[in-house]
Structure formats: C-alpha cells, structure tokens
Amino acid sequence: MNEIQNQAILHELLRSFTTLAETLNLSRAVEKLQTTRQTVRRHIRILEEARKAPLFIVQDRQYHLTEAGRQALPEALELLYRGENWLANRSHNINGLLHIRTAPGDAIIYHLQQHPVSRIWQQGPGILHDTLQAWAAASGELEHPAMQRLRPYFMVYRWADPDWILTEIGDDSSFSSWFGWVHSRSSIGRPLDRLPGGGSFASLLAKPLEDIHANHGLRLDHIHTRIPRGDGQEPTPISFERLTLGCRYPDGSFAMVNLVWRTYDLEIPDLPEAMIRSMPDELIMNFDAAELKTGQSAQV
C-alpha cells in the first residue's frame, strides 16, 4: 500500500494499534473494534512496514509491545485523541495553548483551557504562587525544605512503564477532600485508570503528565468537569486550577507533582460563568499562607 493510501486510513491504523496495545489480545481487540482478525493484523503490518520497526512480538499466542511499540504508543494515542476531538470540534489551540470543550449530549462534560504560567504571577500571592516559588527555590527537588510546607496539598506520581503510579496524596489535597480518607488511602500505588473517576478521566489526565514528563517543566490548566464524590454517587460539578510540575525524587528519578485547587477564578473561553459556579460553594478551597507557616491546615 502506498504512502497516500496509508495516510487515508491513518485513523483506522491508529485505532488498531492502540486497541491491540491496550488489550494485548487479538480476539479482544477485534471485539472492541468490531472488525476482523485479518484487518487488525493487516493494519499492524502496514504500520510496521511504514515505521520500519516491529511494534509487537507474539509469544505463546500472547502479544507484547516491543521497545519500538512502547515508544510509539503515547504519540499514537495523542494523534488519535486529538484527531477525534478536532473532528468533533472539541479541541482547538488558542494562542498556541490547548483548549478542549465537550458538546451538549457528550457522556463526559470536560472543559479545559491551558494558560501561560505567567498568569500565576499576575494573580498575586496564593497557593499556586507559593508553590511555584518553592519549586524554583528547590530546583525541582521534591524533598527540599522549601517544598515541605506545601506537600499536604500535592499529588505525586511516578512513571512505572507502562503506567503513571500514584505515590503520594496530601491530606489537604483536593483529591483527599473530594473523595475522602478511605479513597485517598486506598489509591496509593494505583495507576491512573484505577483511580476514582475511571479510565475516561485517566485519558484526560495523561496528556499533561506526558507533556511535563517530556520537558521536565510546568503547566497551568483551568478545568471544569463533573466527577462523582463516591461510589454510586451522581457526578458533581467541579471547577479548578491545576498546576503540574516536573520534580525529582531523592535518587534523581522523575517525580510528577499535581496541585489541584478548586476555585471559581477560571478563564475558559465559551464556558458560561454559571457553569463554572455550578460547583457548590462549600467545595471552594481557601488558602492562608500565614496559617500554613504555623503548621495549621487550610480550611476546605
């Protein structure tokens, strides 16, 4: 098949590759894709020929990603995700920064606007401001003294191929006050897709983590969505700022830090203020730097 034909069916090639990479089982991939075994095999063969590298090996009828396959998967998922959302008019770039919106009737309500990090300085003192100052003073060292007073508000992840693993949840973090003590303590050591909120929210969280993993920098997003607060509960509106930071564990390995702060002070184009404020008032998080210095927890 020539290059033009490959480009024409790129979406289907990516779907076959990412689904087989997820299931590592041909029969299950065929079932999810509602296609045939021959089609999936042909798509994988086309990709391998085009990329000039094997993506899978088969041992005892079990598929395994090769090193080339593991390296190709994150970008394939991103291409598929961005293509599907662009086609549905859900994904845009505004001044080079990512904007995501879902349409009425979508199963998941999710609105995101990435912002320049300079916005944190413009907002003035607050927890994001203090966290950014601490991160700079610590040169990204997670255990540096400058970071310790803010650790109760952090969620920390480690990359353990092929997943991000949650290694720490601060007692005063948005996660803890949203889901409660039981979920917080039970979520340590879990990959993204096994956290409260499930696989759909894992896929939404993965992109900013991958960005920071690649550049070891930082990223600021404003987000409005809906998340259940417990098992069997209806989703509750939530509006928050999310600061993602590239850090280092004491052994020099990469640590990902998320600070999620629930607030109405968001700027998301085309999202009505009423939707931002649909989060109940009692879920707003308040930060008092003076109280924090005396060792007291912020009131949530």
Please indicate, yes or no, whether residues 99 and 61 belong to a single structural domain of this protein.
Answer: no
Please indicate, yes or no, whether residues 63 and 95 belong to a single structural domain of this protein.
Answer: no
CATH number where 29 lies: 1.10.10.10
| Residue 243: its H or E element | strand 235-248
pLDDT for position 294: 43
pLDDT for position 163: 77
pLDDT for position 5: 52
Please indicate, yes or no, whether residues 165 and 282 belong to a single structural domain of this protein.
Answer: yes
What is the 3-class SS of 73-110, one letter each residue?
HHHHHHHHHHHHHHHCCCEEEECCEEEECCCCCCCCCE
Please indicate, yes or no, whether residues 52 and 133 belong to a single structural domain of this protein.
Answer: no
Please indicate, yes or no, whether residues 36 and 154 belong to a single structural domain of this protein.
Answer: no
Please indicate, yes or no, whether residues 223 and 275 belong to a single structural domain of this protein.
Answer: yes
pLDDT for position 214: 81
Which of these, 144, 128, 130, lies nearest to 248 by C-alpha position? 144
**Separation between Cα atoms, residue 19 and residue 34, nearest integer Å:** 11
Please indicate, yes or no, whether residues 247 and 113 belong to a single structural domain of this protein.
Answer: yes
Which of these, 219, 216, 243, lies nearest to 140 by C-alpha position? 216
Alpha-carbon distances of 180 from 53, 175, 184, 275, rounded to whole Å: 46, 8, 6, 24
Residue that is written with structure tokens 């045939």 in the block: 36
pLDDT for position 150: 96
pLDDT for position 298: 35
Contact 33, 40 (CB under 8 A): yes
In a domain, 101, yes or no: yes
pLDDT for position 185: 86
| Residue 215: its H or E element | helix 198-215
Whether the model pTM is above 0.85: no
Please indicate, yes or no, whether residues 161 and 32 belong to a single structural domain of this protein.
Answer: no
Which of these, 229, 248, 239, 227, lies nearest to 281 by C-alpha position? 239
Q: What is the CB neighbour count within 10 angstroms for residue 74? A: 15
Per-residue pLDDT of the chain (300 residues; tens, 9 = 90+): 455 455 558 889 999 999 999 899 999 999 999 999 999 999 999 999 999 999 999 998 889 999 999 888 878 887 887 777 677 666 677 788 888 887 777 677 889 999 999 999 998 789 999 999 999 999 999 999 999 999 999 999 998 876 788 999 999 999 999 999 888 888 898 877 677 655 555 555 666 777 788 888 999 999 999 988 877 788 999 999 999 999 999 999 999 999 999 999 999 998 999 999 999 999 999 987 655 554 443 333
Please indicate, yes or no, whether residues 114 and 13 belong to a single structural domain of this protein.
Answer: no
Alpha-carbon distances of 96 from 93, 113, 164, 178, 226, rounded to whole Å: 5, 11, 26, 32, 26
Please indicate, yes or no, whether residues 98 and 146 belong to a single structural domain of this protein.
Answer: yes
Amino acid, res. 71:
Q
pLDDT for position 293: 52
In a domain, 239, yes or no: yes
pLDDT for position 295: 42
Which structural domain range is residue 54 located in? Answer: 3-71
In a domain, 53, yes or no: yes
Please count the CA atoms within 13 angstroms of the CA of 61 that sit on its side-chain side.
2
Q: What is the CB neighbour count within 10 angstroms for residue 155? A: 23
Last residue of a domain, one of 42, 71, 100: 71
Q: How many domains does the chain have?
A: 2
pLDDT for position 160: 84
CATH number where 154 lies: 3.30.450.20
Please indicate, yes or no, whether residues 46 and 98 belong to a single structural domain of this protein.
Answer: no
